[in-house]
Amino acid sequence: MLLPHATLVCYNAIMIKLKDIVEESCSSGKAWIWHDKKQSCLTVFITGTTHSTSDCSFPADVDGLSLAIVRRNWHNRQPGLPRLPHYSAEKLAAIAAQHGF
């Protein structure tokens, strides 16, 4: 489930802008990645019925992005389906540049 097209998402009284959501899941929608510019980190969130819960955080750099995507993919795995694709170094660099880290 993709996040609804809204301007802001509220997390722990912090307003998250949708442009700061680095990666969402297209298929299962169990996890997504947020770029916390104030803390300079990438946080993986697990989507629940009424709210999302933070799972772990990584540094806001290309290596941290790679780890966050792997963690997100791990949460989104489903039995019987092929493994989720991994991103190339060029794709990771493009995502990092798009979000300014």
Does the pTM exceed 0.75?
Answer: no
Q: What burial letters (b/e) apply to 66-77, b meaning 16+ CB within 10 Å?
A: bbbbebbbebbe
pLDDT at 7: 43
Please report whether residue 3 resides in a domain. Answer: no
Please report whether residue 59 resides in a domain. Answer: yes
How confident is the model over 60-68, as a mean pLDDT?
90
Q: Give the separation between CA 56 and CA 71, rounded to whole angstroms.
A: 9
pLDDT at 53: 86
In which band, very low, low, confident or very high, does the pLDDT at 58 lie, cut at 50, 70 and 90?
A: very high
What range defines the domain where residue 55 resides?
Answer: 8-98
Please report whether residue 39 resides in a domain. Answer: yes
More confident residue, 49 or 2: 49
Q: Give the separation between CA 87 and CA 80, rounded to whole angstroms.
A: 21
Q: Give the separation between CA 6 and CA 80, rounded to whole angstroms.
A: 33
Express each pLDDT in 18-49 by its tens digit: 777 787 765 566 888 988 888 899 999 888 88
Please report whether residue 2 resides in a domain. Answer: no
- Domain count along the chain: 1
